[in-house]
Amino acid sequence: MIIGGGPAGNTAATHAARLGAEVTLIERDVIGGAAHLWDCIPSKTMIATGGAIAFTRRLEGMGLEQQAPEVDVEALTERIESIKMRLQRSTTNLLTSQGVTLVHGTARFLSANDIEVTTVDDDGVPTVKVIQADAVLVATGTRPRIPEWCHPDGERILTTRDCYPPKTFPESITVVGSGVTGVEFVHMFSSFGAKVTLVVSRQQVLPNKDPEVAAVLEDDFLKRGVSLLKGARAIAIDRVTNEAGVEEVVVRCDDGRVVRSSHAVLAIGSVPNTDTLGLDAAGLQHDGGYVTINRHCQSNVPHIYAAGDISGKLPLSSVASMQGRKVAEHVMGLQKVAHRHLDYDKAASAIFTEPEIADVGLAEADAFAVGRKIRVTKVPFSSTPKALINNDWRGFVKIISDPATGVVLGGSIVGRHAAELISVIALAVTANLKVTDIVESLLVHPALAEALAEAAD
């Protein structure tokens, strides 16, 4: 039995069914989960449209006249909804074609073995059933964290879920939180022409990233007119009517600074969807609602697994899916034969800003912190023919390898299509390939990937 139909749940369900299990998937909302409904898909669809607008700024340098496109909010909303529907349909079809039983309902543990499932029919009449299963996967995901000092209203004080697109398009917006989601929202709203202020609690946006990488992004933000409020923490967000009778949102920071804008959006992390799940009734060990797991994604109760954001590991859709796959393999006994353990340190991740940022494996700073000898090679896109042809040579490729063996340990890419290009380094890191394997690959010319071969050399 699988609780939650996001990337973790639906991948586990499909894979377990393929391996011969009888699978029931319980989802209280829609198949595809928050990833399809609120997070990855709608945010990247908005960003793709914003990116197209941002790209028009580069047309002049390509021998074309620049024309600022107008945003058709209705068409944009329809586009987002239709992509969500298509993905929801294709995921549902995949699950049913594998024989997975889908239940539209809400599950909670009564004990480690009994799960109560509540379904509601079209007339709103609830039915409650208690189900048992040989193995249970908890894949219930997370939702945006809302601090006690802020009361989102879905109109001007927004969570990330109110942004696809917002009810009224912001003229100006304050983004609170400068992690991955925060910077993606800065890029998104500034591409659509809003005046953006980013509240950055530290001295660097993306505090956990390589400072060189963060610097390229900060530079782009400043060029676009984004205001960076560094070293400030928001402590209150209120909706007010100013002296001119105009509605605005006031964000107050702990150092006394105040930002006024038409909207504000919170991007300060998430909380687990386990408050009513009965984790304690099932005897599950957890850390503030995040289920504690071993390397097989197994909880302290051997037949109960957890995967995806609820497992407290890397909150990425790609990681959630891979965990789901590994759970299916473990439940069906495949770990005893060919089975590669999930190595979270080798997960590639991307930030969909302009330029894009992507990295995988060992980071330079982490190697220095433990005194590990590494070889770092870096090539700017400004020397790559395709980047010049594209009229966009911002950024670089950095490859980190073992100086003794040449094995690729990690890398980062800042620039156009970084999220696609990082796949080459990710494959090298997972398969323990050497820098020479990249250098000696016969790549396409002209292509941005040539920068990878050059950096590996």
> Can you give the binding site for ligand FAD, defined by CB under 6 A?
3-9, 26-29, 33-35, 39-40, 43-44, 106-108, 139-141, 160, 181, 273, 277, 308-310, 315-318, 320
Least distance in Å: CB of 84 to ligand FAD?
A: 12
Q: Is 314 exposed, middle or buried (0-12, 13-18, 19+ CB in 10 A)?
A: middle
Whichever of 232 and 268 has its CB closer to ligand FAD, that residue is: 268
Nearer to ligand FAD, 180 or 449 (CB): 180
310 vs 433, which CB is nearer to ligand FAD?
310
CB of 406 to ligand FAD, least distance (A): 30
CB of 360 to ligand FAD, least distance (A): 13
Q: Show the tokens assigned to 174.
A: 């304050």
- Smallest distance from ligand FAD to CB 70, Å: 26
CB of 106 to ligand FAD, least distance (A): 4
32, 29, 28: which is closest to 13 by C-alpha?
32
CB closer to ligand FAD, 108 vs 230: 108
Beta carbon of residue 311, minimum distance to ligand FAD (angstroms, whole number): 8
Complex with ligand FAD: residue 140 or 172, whichever CB lies closer = 140
CB closer to ligand FAD, 318 vs 335: 318
